[in-house]
Amino acid sequence: MMAGLGPLLASLVAMDVAAFARRLKRNAILYAFMLVFLLTAYVLAVAALAVYLGQMWGLPMALLAVAGGALVLALIILLWVMMENRAEERRKREAAAASSNKALMVTAAISALPLVMKSRPLLLVGVAAGLGFLLTRNMGMASRDTDEPAE
């Protein structure tokens, strides 16, 4: 039964890969054409702006204004990217710190487990503390769900 299923699955995978490759090539070509037309439209819009401003202020001032606007936009985008990168690095550091803290707590709990398992009163206290932790954690998540405003 499985021997007959293998070639069928292989042919399905081959067909999907071939279809995926065709679709990828087609989309790449169409996106390349779209990019060319978008860049052409952008260049013509900047040229039209320069011509319009050139009629009002003179050609050198118009070109300086267009160049200055492009520079300001580039600096805004650069600052945005730098802030996003800094925020991502901060999130990575916080996640790594939280992960290392969790690993330390798990290690401590596992190392204390044999002692807790030998002592019946400590075992009962540990089970009660674990259940209390889970209940408070679940209650905290439930209150977060209800505190959010409905859209």
Instruction: Specify if 97 maps to a domain.
Output: no
Asked whether the predicted pLDDT for residue 148 surpasses 90, the reply is no
In this prediction, residue 21 carries a pLDDT of 85
Instruction: Specify if 49 maps to a domain.
Output: yes
Q: CA-based angle 124:127:133, to the nearest 5?
A: 140
Whether residue 107 sits in one domain with residue 54: no
| Of residues 55 and 147, more confidently modeled | 55
Whether residue 106 sits in one domain with residue 88: no
Q: Give the position of tokens 């118009």.
A: 62
CA-CA distance, 125 to 14, in Å (whole number)? 58
Task: Give the domain extent around 30.
Answer: 21-92
**What tens digit of pLDDT does each residue of 64-90 get?**
999 999 999 999 999 999 999 999 999
CA-CA distance, 144 to 57, in Å (whole number)? 58
Which band of pLDDT confidence, cut at 50, 70 and 90, is reported for residue 147?
low
Instruction: Specify if 16 maps to a domain.
Output: no
CA-CA distance, 64 to 44, in Å (whole number)? 17
Total domain count, the chain: 2
Average pLDDT for 114-136: 78
In this prediction, residue 67 carries a pLDDT of 93
Whether residue 117 sits in one domain with residue 86: no
Whether residue 72 sits in one domain with residue 30: yes
Instruction: Specify if 129 maps to a domain.
Output: yes
In this prediction, residue 51 carries a pLDDT of 94
Asked whether the predicted pLDDT for residue 1 surpasses 60, the reply is no
Of 26, 28, 69, 71, residue with least CA distance to 49: 69
Cβ atoms < 10 Å from Cβ of 19: 10
In this prediction, residue 72 carries a pLDDT of 96
Average pLDDT for 60-65: 92
Instruction: Specify if 127 maps to a domain.
Output: yes
Instruction: Specify if 141 maps to a domain.
Output: yes
3-state secondary structure the chain: CHHHHHHHHHHHHHHHHHHHHHHHHHHHHHHHHHHHHHHHHHHHHHHHHHHHHHHHHCHHHHHHHHHHHHHHHHHHHHHHHHHHHHHHHHHHHHHHHHHHHHHHHHHHHHHHHHHHHHCHHHHHHHHHHHHHHHHHHHHHHHHHHHHCCCC
Instruction: Specify if 108 maps to a domain.
Output: yes
Whether residue 62 sits in one domain with residue 34: yes
